[in-house]
């Protein structure tokens, strides 16, 4: 069940300028989701990013992953297009394993495991994210034809299976450096990400 919880204006800094977005909070079952919209995005296809929460990357600026770069890149692309929606999946931390388990996986990665083996070594799924809530939020917003900003073909397939028409995948790339090379290599080789 999807419930709209609240709506408000959200001024967002994008490339040094402040832009006025509209944010709507949703609850799907027990998951919290934000729809952060800019411009006249209802004209199909809408430019959309479904972004999984990453506290360490998004908020703390961790260089271990490409999450913050993808988040900022999505906002930049939406502003450049003049319209779009960022769906922020608050309960998708660590591909669905949660923050504390993600830190445990980081510890294993410090010892040489990749992101996939770290999860499985802990007895956790490689990826337990469910995109049903994102599809329901898009439906609530009247959006069913999108261009999806992602490097993950599984996300395209999941949303398509949930009734969202993805007419084009838009790559969203980040800088590769010594701190994220192993992570990005594992995403490409073991998780099918198109990097």
Judge whether 26 and 4 are in contact, CB under 8 Å: yes
Q: How much is the average pLDDT of 14-38?
A: 97
42, pLDDT greater than 90: no
Question: Is 59 a member of any domain?
Answer: yes
Question: Is 172 a member of any domain?
Answer: yes
110, pLDDT greater than 70: yes
Q: How much is the average pLDDT of 175-191?
A: 58
Strand pairing of 84-89 and 46-52? parallel
Q: Rounded CA gap, 19 and 30, in Å?
A: 30
Question: Is 157 a member of any domain?
Answer: yes
Q: Rounded CA gap, 109 and 106, in Å?
A: 5
Confidence of residue 118 (pLDDT cuts 50, 70, 90): confident
Domain of residue 14, CATH code: 3.40.50.10990
Any catalytic annotation for residue 127? yes
175, pLDDT greater than 80: no
**3-state DSSP assignment of residue 23:** strand
Q: Rounded CA gap, 172 and 73, in Å?
A: 7
Residue 41: its pLDDT value, please? Answer: 67
- What share of the chain in percent tops pLDDT 90? 71
Question: Is 146 a member of any domain?
Answer: yes
Residue 78: its pLDDT value, please? Answer: 97
Domain that holds residue 183: 2-92+129-191
> pTM higher than 0.75 for the full model?
yes
Question: Is 173 a member of any domain?
Answer: yes
Residue 179: its pLDDT value, please? Answer: 61
190, pLDDT greater than 60: no
Question: Is 99 a member of any domain?
Answer: no
Q: How much is the average pLDDT of 141-146?
A: 94
Residue tagged active-site, from 58, 66, 114, 127: 127
Number of domains in the chain: 1
Q: How much is the average pLDDT of 18-34?
A: 97
Residue tagged active-site, from 104, 129, 154, 168: 129
Q: In what order do the strands lie in the sheet with 84-89?
A: 2-14, 17-28, 31-38, 84-89, 46-52, 145-149, 165-170
Any catalytic annotation for residue 117? no
Question: Is 113 a member of any domain?
Answer: no
């Amino acid at each position: 069940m999807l419930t709209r919880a609240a709506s408000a204006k959200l001024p967002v800094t994008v490339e040094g300028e402040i832009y006025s977005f509209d944010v709507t909070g949703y609850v799907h079952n027990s998951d919290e989701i934000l729809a952060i919209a800019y411009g006249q995005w209802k004209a199909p296809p809408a430019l959309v990013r479904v972004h999984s929460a990453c506290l360490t990357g998004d908020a703390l600026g961790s260089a271990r992953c490409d999450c913050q770069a993808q988040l900022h890149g999505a906002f930049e692309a939406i502003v450049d297009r003049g319209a779009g929606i960022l769906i922020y999946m608050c309960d998708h931390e660590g591909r669905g394993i949660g923050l504390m388990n993600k830190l445990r996986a980081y510890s294993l990665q410090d010892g040489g495991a990749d992101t996939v083996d770290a999860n499985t070594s802990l007895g956790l799924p490689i990826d337990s994210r469910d995109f049903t809530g994102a599809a329901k939020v898009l439906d609530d917003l009247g959006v069913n034809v999108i261009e999806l900003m992602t490097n993950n073909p599984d996300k395209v397939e999941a949303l398509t299976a949930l009734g969202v028409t993805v007419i084009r995948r838009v790559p969203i790339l980040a800088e590769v450096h010594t701190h994220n090379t192993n992570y990005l290599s594992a995403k490409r080789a073991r998780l099918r990400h198109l990097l």
